[in-house]
Amino acid sequence: MTAGEPLALFDECTAVRPCGAEGVWDVELRDEFTIVNGHPNGGYLLALLGRAAVAAVGEPDRHVISATASYVAPPAVGPATVRTEVQRRGRTASQVRTVLVQDDTPRVDVLMLVGALDSEPPLWGDVAAPTLPDEETCQAASLARRSPITGGEPPMAKVVSLAFDPATLGWAAGEPGGQGEMRAWLRFADDRPFDPLALLLAVDALPPATFEVAMTGWVPTLSLTAYIRARPAAGPLRVRFRVGVIAGGRADETCEVWDSAARLVAQSTQLAAIRMP
């Protein structure tokens, strides 16, 4: 980014400003990244807190490597504070705790690891990228549907473009496919390239994968853990979001993200609360 160039919307909406007190940052939770009921998206909050964590460590070439969020209470759009605490500075990575506070109440508590990240291929193991119809086909199929759950598009759908594999779009017509899996192309509407920070948004950008099992009310995330594995190549991401087991009022969901070079760049797992019909 060169001086004077306007910030991409994602960067503008995840900006953190030192408020004067050591490790405390002022932020503004923006309407553009809200989903149902005006709640900011969980991945958006994770990215915003990730930016504060990297700023707190003070080494700009470091990135969030892992992040686990406990969603204590949903924050609202508007001003908020981020408290950061560098728990340990390490040679290869530092541990940072960040807490999003609004009205003197902790809303999201995140433990993060901030360290170096390369884009080298794996030394061992791989998770093959799913085969999806091309992005245009997925985009056309997605535009032809509207989620009956959200009563139309949430604000975030205007700034983050999700083009779903038509084979995993049953939920959008109120007829879950039954496989408990969604696959989609993901890009920013303004084509901002993905960097490691934006991958924190990508791991929680899809609707609940449980919608492909059953049409329920909202499925709030209780705990979300993300690992960022590599710097992504330019171009749209591919995302797979799957339900594991629904039991005892809770579901585990796994998300995997590949870049345009089919490299696995991020993974997440979350536990969410669900009321089955």
Using the rule CB under 8 A, give the single segment among 46-54, 153-161, 167-175, 261-269 that binds its own copies. 261-269
Please name which of 219, 193, 223 lies closest in space to residue 206, comparing C-alpha atoms.
Answer: 219
Give residue 119's identity as a one-letter amino acid code.
Answer: S
Q: Is residue 271 involved in binding its own copies (CB under 8 A)? A: yes
Distance between CA atoms of residues 93 and 21, nearest Å: 24
Q: Is residue 264 involved in binding its own copies (CB under 8 A)? A: yes
SS3 112: strand
Whichever of 173 and 247 has its CB closer to its own copies, that residue is 247
CB of 110 to its own copies, least distance (A): 8
Contact 255, 268 (CB under 8 A): yes
CB of 139 to its own copies, least distance (A): 29
Contact 159, 33 (CB under 8 A): yes
Whichever of 154 and 180 has its CB closer to its own copies, that residue is 180
Whichever of 34 and 66 has its CB closer to its own copies, that residue is 66
Using the rule CB under 8 A, give the single segment among 51-59, 160-168, 193-201, 241-249 that binds its own copies. 241-249
Task: Give me 60's structure tokens.
Answer: 């700009």
Distance between CA atoms of residues 148 and 153, nearest Å: 10
CB of 272 to its own copies, least distance (A): 10
Please name which of 234, 130, 244, 233 lies closest in space to residue 179, comparing C-alpha atoms.
Answer: 244
Task: Give me 69's structure tokens.
Answer: 């969020």
Q: Is residue 195 involved in binding its own copies (CB under 8 A)? A: no
Whichever of 147 and 268 has its CB closer to its own copies, that residue is 268
SS3 250: strand
Please name which of 96, 89, 115 lies closest in space to residue 230, comparing C-alpha atoms.
Answer: 115
> Applying CB under 8 A, which of residues 198, 243, 255, 257 lies at the interface with its own copies?
243
Q: Is residue 124 involved in binding its own copies (CB under 8 A)? A: yes
Q: What is the CA radius of gyration of the chain?
A: 18
Whichever of 6 and 121 has its CB closer to its own copies, that residue is 121
Q: Under the rule (CB under 8 A), what is the footprint of its own copies?
A: 65-66, 68, 70, 72-73, 87-88, 92-93, 95, 97, 106, 109, 111, 113, 116-118, 120-127, 180, 213-214, 222-223, 225, 227, 229-230, 243-250, 252, 264, 267, 269, 271, 273, 276
